[in-house]
């Protein structure tokens, strides 16, 4: 076997020491009728240089977000990652470290996670953050589950239409066999939640306002628009006329936020969010076809015993020296079993470490610069794109780094035409919203250059100025010429 490092002599020695005469002996207990009885259909082994060439050929068929002007976002972004993040995070001490159950041999890992938690809590304006979740969608679901436990009375969660559709789908999967019921707060005309409509939903049907245990918003929302956090907070407080009973059963506010936007926009803690979650890909992690990434999770100290996942705490050892440990472990399933509030018992160690390194290297000022540039690029791009005849803005709400335009032709068609001109267009919205056939979500980051916007606008003029393009091909096909 070419991939097994043992020599025939090694095998003989091992067999002899356990008293087996052949490898066949080891499988004698497997019944004959479940045995394959033939060699595995695997191609013959190749040399390393042949394999490298073959894999290289496969990889060359990939498109990247940075190999041509790209305006694709919707949750995964092309961001600058300092090379120090790569070199530091690939150090063996970090890269191969195991879960820090034994604090005495894991102080490096634990301190890094503690610092990560502190930075996330600060960014989000919240009191405490955990050691990270898998990614944004499951972080949101865990937040909903936590709110369900904390609230203790309701069974309905209101999720704004502006929350990423994939996050919503993940929630639907989780709650398929669960008492929790999802209801939608429709997107207002301007592209954000209408607080009046929200309040109506809160007071409507079900078992009364106490039956809603959480409200979920995304900020900026999936359409790029900035939600009015304080207005949402006020709507929650004002539900059911602000009676004492209503106050006691006020729904928890969960905000799914973009981590870079937190450097510029009012953070969730400032508008009364009980739990803040989001995806950390923008913090030092490559897009990598969607992952791996990490989810961040922050909340109030009062709820710490209901928080899912790991939490690192600061403490003192026997000699009074500062040290770090996994704390509040009695919440977790390896101690509480079925009574744990969540069954996650891990974190995205390497990815959140990269996030911590990114935040540390850029600092508060650097992250803010990234946010400002992303925002300015979006406003500049939108102004230029709207100058193209036939293109209209879909919403008029303030926006951060993404915006939706309505095109005179189906967005999926325009996307393909742009690809043929070497431009990675924005996301055609009918991928998630079948009726939004002519809408496209354009995204910019601090990596977007003036030349990219020029190229996009020129291509749009050409595409929209000519006849309909070639026969239909699958949506989001790569830019093959």
Which residues of the shown chain bind another protein in the complex (CB under 8 A)? 305, 330-331, 335-336, 339
Nearer to another protein (CB atom), residue 285 or residue 299: 299
Closest CA to 410 of 431, 432, 386, 439: 439
Nearer to another protein (CB atom), residue 201 or residue 331: 331
Interatomic CA distance for residues 114 and 111, integer angstroms: 5
Nearer to another protein (CB atom), residue 56 or residue 152: 152
Helix (H, G, I), strand (E, B) or coil at 159: strand
Nearer to another protein (CB atom), residue 325 or residue 453: 325
368 burial (CB, 10 Å; 0-12 / 13-18 / 19+) is middle
Give least dist CB 336 to another protein, A: 6
Interatomic CA distance for residues 227 and 21, integer angstroms: 71
Interatomic CA distance for residues 30 and 51, integer angstroms: 34
Nearer to another protein (CB atom), residue 6 or residue 336: 336
Interatomic CA distance for residues 468 and 465, integer angstroms: 9
Give least dist CB 274 to another protein, A: 19
Q: With DSSP H G I counted as helix, E B as strand and the rest as coil, what are the percentages for the chain, rounded to 5?
A: 45, 15, 40
Nearer to another protein (CB atom), residue 87 or residue 330: 330
Closest CA to 64 of 283, 289, 282, 291: 289
β strands within 165-222, DSSP E: 181-185, 212-219
Give least dist CB 180 to another protein, A: 21
Give least dist CB 327 to another protein, A: 10
Closest CA to 264 of 252, 282, 285, 281: 282
Tokens coding 278:
């989001």
Tokens coding 425:
């267009």
Nearer to another protein (CB atom), residue 219 or residue 342: 342
Q: Kindly list the distances between the CA atom of residue 419 and the CA atoms of 227, 386, 446, in Å, as whole numbers in the listed order.
A: 32, 20, 22
Nearer to another protein (CB atom), residue 35 or residue 339: 339
Q: Kindly list the distances between the CA atom of residue 122 and the CA atoms of 263, 304, 372, in Å, as whole numbers in the listed order.
A: 10, 16, 18
Give least dist CB 250 to another protein, A: 17
């Amino acid at each position: 076997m070419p991939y097994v490092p043992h020599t025939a002599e090694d095998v003989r020695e091992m067999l002899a020491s356990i008293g087996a005469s052949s490898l066949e002996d080891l499988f004698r207990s497997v019944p004959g009728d479940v045995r394959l009885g033939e060699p595995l259909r695997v191609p013959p082994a190749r040399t390393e240089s042949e394999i490298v060439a073959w894999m290289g050929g496969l990889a060359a068929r990939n498109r990247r977000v940075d190999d041509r002007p790209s305006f694709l976002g919707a949750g995964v972004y092309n961001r600058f990652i300092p090379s120090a993040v790569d070199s530091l995070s690939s150090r063996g001490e970090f890269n191969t470290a195991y879960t820090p159950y034994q604090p005495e041999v894991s102080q490096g890992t634990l301190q890094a996670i503690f610092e990560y938690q502190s930075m996330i809590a600060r960014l989000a304006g919240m009191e405490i953050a955990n050691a990270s979740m898998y990614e944004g969608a499951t972080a949101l679901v865990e937040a909903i589950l936590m709110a369900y436990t904390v609230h203790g009375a309701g069974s309905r969660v209101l999720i704004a239409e502006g929350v990423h559709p994939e996050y919503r789908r993940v929630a639907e999967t989780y709650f398929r066999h669960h008492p929790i019921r999802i209801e939608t707060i429709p997107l207002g005309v301007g592209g954000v939640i209408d607080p009046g409509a929200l309040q109506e939903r809160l007071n409507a049907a079900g078992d009364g306002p106490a039956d809603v245990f959480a409200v979920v918003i995304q900020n900026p929302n999936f359409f790029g628009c900035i939600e009015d956090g304080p207005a949402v907070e006020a709507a929650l407080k004002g539900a059911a006329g602000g009676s004492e009973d209503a106050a006691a059963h006020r729904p928890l506010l969960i905000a799914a936020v973009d981590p870079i936007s937190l450097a510029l926009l009012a953070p969730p803690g400032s508008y009364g969010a009980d739990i803040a979650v989001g995806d950390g890909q923008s913090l030092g992690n490559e897009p990598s076809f969607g992952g791996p990434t990490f989810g961040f999770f922050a909340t109030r100290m009062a709820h710490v015993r209901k928080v899912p996942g790991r939490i690192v705490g600061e403490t003192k050892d026997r000699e009074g020296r500062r040290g770090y440990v996994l704390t509040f472990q009695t919440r977790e399933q390896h101690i509480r079993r079925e009574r744990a509030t969540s069954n996650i018992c891990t974190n995205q160690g390497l990815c959140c470490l990269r996030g911590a390194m990114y935040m540390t290297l850029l600092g508060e000022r650097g992250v803010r610069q990234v946010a400002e540039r992303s925002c300015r690029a979006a406003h500049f791009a939108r102004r230029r794109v709207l100058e193209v005849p036939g293109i209209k803005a879909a919403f008029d709400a303030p926006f951060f780094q993404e915006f939706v335009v309505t095109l005179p032709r189906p967005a999926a068609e325009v996307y393909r035409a742009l690809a043929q001109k070497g431009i990675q267009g924005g996301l055609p919205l009918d991928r998630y919203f079948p009726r939004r056939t002519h809408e496209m979500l354009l995204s910019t980051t601090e990596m977007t250059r003036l030349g990219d916007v020029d190229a996009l606008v020129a291509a749009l003029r050409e595409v929209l100025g000519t006849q309909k393009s070639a026969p239909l091909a699958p949506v989001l096909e790569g830019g093959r010429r």
